[in-house]
Amino acid sequence: MNPGLGVVFLVLAVALVWVLATFNRFIRLRQHLRESWADIDVELKRRYDLIPNLVETVKGYARHEKEVLARIVELRTLAVASQGVASAQAVDESKLLMGLKEIFAVAESYPDLKADRTFLDLQRQLALTEDRLAAARRFYNGNARSLNALRETVPTNLVAKMMNIEPASYFELNTEAERVVPRVFAEGGE
């Protein structure tokens, strides 16, 4: 066998192994991205399930706040229906959180509501859900960042182009919405 042909064969074999290894890295990262999105999805569904209970509890005390409550129901419906890319869904989630902020502002005006055990429990559950969502969002965005960095870095970008690897979108809330975490009142007032 010709030594030059052996070198060419070796170079091609190494290149093929590198391409396959890089492609498998993309596949693993994409799977991590899906898994981390599933964590977000679980917590979003939990939030969606808590909101109707919160609205009903507030209705019992704040009968004059029908517009705020109707808006929350509308924003929840919009968020539940949002199934697009993470960045688009984050827009709907930000709107929903801003609506929740209005409910908690309403609660400030009703001392009996702030002392209601059901309301307090719902606030605690929402606060815990928001904490879990923040952690899941950080994990998801870290995976998206890793995939996008691998996709854009030379020479792995060549494999990404060959395999048609799409960039991952981030799940980022607007800054004001990130700060909307239910404030849990102490029983019997603040």
What is the mean pLDDT for each group of 10 consecutive residues in the chain (190 residues)? 88 96 96 96 96 92 87 95 91 93 88 90 94 96 97 96 95 78 52
CB 37 within 8 A of CB 140: yes
Give the SS3 label for residue 24: helix
Write down the pLDDT at residue 180.
Answer: 67
* pTM of the predicted structure, to 2 decimals: 0.85
User: What topology does CATH give the domain 15-178?
Assistant: de novo design (two linked rop proteins) (1.20.1440)
- SS3 call for 76: helix
* Spans of all domains in the chain: 15-178
The pLDDT, as a whole number, for residue 175 is 75
Q: Which residues are CB-neighbours of 47 under 8 A, at least 6 positions away?
A: 126, 129, 130, 133
